């Protein structure tokens, strides 16, 4: 059984947020609230190739771009990535090209630090606090 609720036009005004924000700022205020309530999520997972190891990491097509820091019209975005080892954090450049995203500058440093190999599975998560954390599952040939 479903019940439809209709609100008379005259009483719709009472459903608007009661705050000091003018009406044109309600949407902006709601976005700020969402930004302050960041939820952990997997951004991507990828089995690494030799190109990923030697040059750059091309992010998978199903990468959750909305979980990455905003590019704000720029072609590059730099952000820190944490790792499982405490105190381990590196900046990586994420470049936006036609139909693709890739980690460029800083990526090879991460490859060396983590001793990554082709076949390893890399996962990037956004943490509850808003940071980014990378985890690695080693391939069977490297275990």
Condensed to tens digits (0 to 9), the pLDDT of residues 92-107 reads: 999 988 888 999 999 9
Per the domain annotation, does 16 fall within a domain?
no
Residues above pLDDT 70, as percent of the chain? 70
Higher per-residue confidence, 130 vs 29: 130
Domain with 92 in it: what CATH number?
Answer: 2.40.330.10
Identify whether 21 is part of a domain: no
Residue 2 lies in a domain: no
How far is residue 119's CA from residue 142's CA, in Å, rounded to a whole number?
A: 9
According to DSSP, the β-strands at 100-103 and 57-58 are antiparallel
- How many whole angstroms separate alpha carbon 57 and alpha carbon 120? 13
Residues facing 125 on adjacent strands: 42, 133
Q: Is pLDDT at 90 greater than 50 in this prediction?
A: yes
Domain contains 88: yes
The pLDDT, as a whole number, for residue 109 is 94
* Domain assignment present for 138: yes
| Structural domains in the chain (count) | 1
pLDDT recorded at residue 12: 38
User: What's the rounded Cα separation, in Å, for the pair 122 and 135?
Assistant: 6
Query: What domain range is 112 assigned to?
Result: 39-142
Quick check: is 85 in a domain? yes
Q: Report if residue 20 sits inside a domain.
A: no
Q: Can you give the pLDDT at residue 143?
A: 52
Give the tens place of pLDDT for each residue, 20-72: 434 443 334 333 434 445 567 899 999 999 999 999 999 999 998 888 888 88
In a domain, 14, yes or no: no
pLDDT at 83: 86
């Amino acid at each position: 059984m479903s019940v439809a609720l209709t609100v008379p036009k005259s009483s719709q005004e009472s459903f608007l947020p009661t705050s000091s924000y003018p009406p044109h700022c309600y949407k902006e205020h709601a976005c700020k609230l969402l930004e302050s309530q960041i939820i952990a999520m997997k951004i991507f997972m990828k089995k690494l190739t030799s190109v990923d190891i030697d040059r750059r990491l091309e992010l998978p097509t199903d990468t959750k771009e909305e979980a990455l820091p905003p590019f704000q019209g720029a072609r590059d975005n730099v952000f820190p990535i944490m790792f499982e080892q405490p105190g381990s954090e590196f900046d990586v450049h994420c470049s936006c090209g036609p139909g693709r995203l890739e980690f460029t500058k800083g990526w090879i440093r991460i490859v060396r630090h983590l001793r990554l190999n082709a076949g390893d599975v890399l996962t990037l998560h956004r943490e509850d606090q808003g940071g980014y954390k990378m985890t690695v599952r080693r391939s069977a040939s490297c275990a």
